[in-house]
Amino acid sequence: MDDIVIRAENLGKQYLIGKVQDGNRTFREALTDVFASPFRRAGLLGGVASGALELPKAFWALRDVSFQVKQGEMIALIGRKGAGKSTLLKLLSRVTEPTSGYAEMRGRVASRLEVGAGFHSELTGRENVYLNAAILGITKKDMRRQFDEIVAFSETEDFIDTPVKYYSSERFRSLAFAVSAHLEPEILLVDEVLAVGGARFQTKCLNKIRSLGKQGKTVILVSHNMSQAMNLCTRAILLGDGTIQEDGPCYQVVAKHQVSGFAVPAARECEWCGQPVGGELLAAPKEG
């Protein structure tokens, strides 16, 4: 039986700098574009007259990215800012469509990409929990069985019937993560949401992700924290300039990333292989 749950082939995403992207535009963006169009046209005419016309520039945020993920793998997606990590997760989550290539996903996907994603600010915490469950195809009956656990984990008992627009950033992320992690995902995609909150809650989130891994769930985690990556994941993918620079055992990929000078130093050993991650390069774990 094929145990591949994610397959990406020559995946690419191109943006045109200076041009509003097509698709999924908000009413505000469309209205702004209507009023700005006359000024843009005037600018273009002026550019033509002066011989300094600037057309939109193509920018590849991600290009020719290919990889496979097996069921139950815990993968750290690392790289400096602007390397393409968030873009890759958005493509896998179907938040945006690829310019080239394709990605196949097998199983229920839960993603937590950024504050506000999947949540409606005017709805209460309770309503947003049920909304996200419905999007994932979970019935109300099944949701009721998990609801109390989600609320307790996020520590939002006193605010669950308050519109989330009044939540603090930390409380908002707590509930958002709890929803993603508890709605029985087969694939969980997480983008730096653990950067907010106190140490106690971060530890709680990491333990939840670890438990999902032990249950055979597949997790792809974006992180700039190498301790976090090493303690959760056995495999890492290093992105740079929108392409895969390295893909392999976590300790090897983290070592290469640290050499580049962009990694956040780790301060403890990897619980999987016992390798120190810090100022010196990592050696491959010894056999036996």
pLDDT in tens, the chain (288 residues): 479 999 999 999 999 876 555 555 555 555 455 555 555 555 545 554 454 555 678 889 999 999 999 999 999 999 998 899 999 999 998 888 999 999 999 988 888 776 556 788 899 999 999 998 888 788 888 889 999 999 999 999 999 999 999 998 888 888 988 888 888 789 999 887 566 567 788 888 889 989 999 999 999 999 888 888 888 899 999 999 999 999 999 999 998 888 765 554 444 444 444 444 443 334 444 444
| Phi, psi angles (nearest 5°) of residue 285 | -65, 145
pLDDT at residue number 33: 56
Domain(s) of CATH 3.40.50.300: residues in the chain: 1-19+56-107+186-288
* Token pair for 1: 């039986």
Candidates 216, 203, 81, 232; CA nearest to 251 is 232
| Cα distance between residue 117 and residue 93, in whole Å | 11
- pTM of this prediction? 0.74
Query: Which CATH code is given to the segment(s) 1-19+56-107+186-288?
Result: 3.40.50.300
pLDDT for the residue 235: 97
- The pLDDT assigned to 277 comes to 42
Q: Could you tell me how far CA 187 lies from the centroid of its own chain? A: 12
How many angstroms separate the CA atoms of 284 and 288, rounded?
A: 12
Report d(CA 14, CA 149) in Å as an integer.
Answer: 41
Q: From residue 109, give the alpha-carbon distance in Å to each of 13, 89, 179, 267.
A: 21, 11, 12, 32
